[in-house]
Structure 1
Amino acid sequence: MNASARIPHGIHNACDYERQAAQHLPADRLAYIAGGCGWDRTVAANRAAFERWDVLPRLLRDVRGGHTRMTLNGQPLAHPFLLAPVAHQRLAHPEAELATARAAEATDTCLVASTLSSTPLEAIAQAGGDTPRWFQLYLQPERAHTLDLLARAEAAGYQAIVLTLDASIQLASRSALAAGFTMPADCTAANLAGYAPPGDPPLAPGASRIFQGAMRHAPTWDDLVWLLSATRLPVWVKGVLHPEDARRLQAAGVAGIVVSNHGGRSLDGAPASLGMLPAVRAAVGDPYSVLLDGGIRSGQDAFKALALGADAVLIGRLQVYALAAAGALGVAHMLTLLIEELHACMAQAGCATLADITPGALLPCPLDPTLPC
């Protein structure tokens, strides 16, 4: 880590990094990072979903042996926080994903590196040392390019593939458009350098820019079957909201799923990830691995997600805010705060281990908006 880096003044909780980032990012970049798509309804829904639940304190529970150690598909983890795959991190900091990887190593956090990272996946792996790491994959129009990404990820020591399936179309956020955001020239997808784009023919007269255009190379179930046979690594699927999709992915042999609406960047008006979590968990049963992505800003948020059926949670925007504010030190500090906030919530709810966190630890928040939650 940069020895000259300092934790910004006024950071008391992990969520404070969101406010702090506004002092370190140009307004257009902040609007792009904070926004989703359309009117940002789903971004707001992700956050509001956590306010619908209260945590029920318990008395006289012995939690002196408490911890957050866990095993996820046979892989030991120190805590249930993973760093979500976030593209183009050079938008937030010149060291981009290299700083994030160093923070992951410092906090023993599993890092999920994005296909659209600003730095190559090999460099991210080297910066992260022996920390658990997964590689998030977008299927490429040319299968040879996908195979190359898989081979590179395996060679670099990534331990799982996280296939994102909910982002074939990403509409712009009106807030980012209003701020005049355009992707800077130095923010390119380093992993895709050298992969020539497909030579698609022009759309025929009357053809849809969506159906025959943007969705031309969108993944299908056949592509998933092919991918499962093309790698020796376990394959997770990110972007699951519908319980029937979850059941079918489980039956297909997917190692686990991530309940996610792409941080509100895919379909504006999609339900909150947390809101769909209980139904997805019920669809696949208790032993199957389920993660949650979307809206986590505190250790108590993570507690609520675990109580409602997640095995672990992914941290997306918050890692970028911390990266912008203080580089690797900021991301490591943010993760440390999240872990301590989770410990505090667990202790007061009488939960010594993650296995003790059950739906019974929560109560629905009163619907009357005049009552405090």
Structure 2
Amino acid sequence: MPDMNPRAWHRKASKPVSIWMAVFILAGLAHPFIPDGNWLLIHIFTLGILGNSILLWSQNLTERFLGQRLDDDARPAQLTRTYLFNAGTVAVLIGQVARWFWLTWIGALVVGVMVAWHAVVLAGQVKSAKRSNAGVLGFVASACCLPVGALFGATVAAGLPGQWHGAVRQAHMFVNVGGFGGFAAMGALSILFPAMWRTRGHNRVGLALMLAGVGVAVAAAGSLARLSWLAGVGTVVILAGWVWLYQGFVANALTVFREPRGRVTYPGLSALFAVGWLIGGLAWFAVLLFGGTGDAPVLPLLLGFAAQLLIGTMSYLMPTTMGGGPTAVKAGLAELDRGAYLRVGLFNAALLAWLIVGNSYARIVLSFVAFGVLVAFIPLLTRAVKAQVAVIKASRRP
């Protein structure tokens, strides 16, 4: 059997995220010359980067939150799910760009089946665990959403007549962004947010998940029924779940700001602003839906929320997962925390200006600034790994 110690399997399972990040950067530079370039960028991020990250970290955090490590003999199956999920993702992307919709359908089927398998594994861990954690239910709910969202997405890709195209696409967005991404974020942040800020958390995630679950179902149903007002109601219910959870986050942050002591970090600030973007984006989308028209605010939801939150949480999780003792973890976190205020402020200001400014040249510059801040994570991660390994090696010397 191959080496499946915790570091070995985690390194193998996380490799696709790094590869997709590189693909995303290359596609971003070339997307004006690629058919469906914007669609391609969105789905490289949502399936390639975000999808792989959720599969990896929902498993990792489920084990942490439940205090129940997965058996080593289950790791090969976990890697199989990861590799097949990525094969399905590649098929979806190639099928869409080449207009081979049969390949898109096959890819969506593989993606959906792999994530459904992942949901079964997580549910089994919850059932057998000796202790409970409401946040883990968010990971299970998240994994249950993507198969449905993949089905909607494949249907949209094949083409639908009249208003059905927009209706199914909107349902696809609610299930994937509000469900797959949203539930996973709720589950993770219920524990990680207070950990990032080094303060006590608030037990709010159970009600937040219930509200968001009802909201996603209602919003998706309203979209499919082509009832904008009903989709708006669902959006408001999702928003209520996030506002309820966010109140606890803000209370945590305010406590720390009164006595910082080095606890205001890039991961914590990123999470705080990311959820703020989600709440603002959902509120604006609800207004548009009640008005009977309007597309989903892609930039606030995908860049402001999902991308910012992903980079922020990875900046916290990578060093803590790598381990090596408190001194080593501190060294890794310090590297990923470099320029925290500048990076968070510059990214959020650039994104806000990008949304407001009408000049196309200014928007291009602002987009490069926003993406540049996010991409800075890659060299900083390299520095963090080197710093952490150096401390670990030094501690092992006689």
* TM-score computed with the length of structure 1 as normaliser: 0.28
Greater strand percent: which structure? 1
Ranked by relative contact order (alpha carbons within 8 Å, sequence separation 6 or more), the top structure is: 1
* TM-score computed with the length of structure 2 as normaliser: 0.27
Greater helix percent: which structure? 2
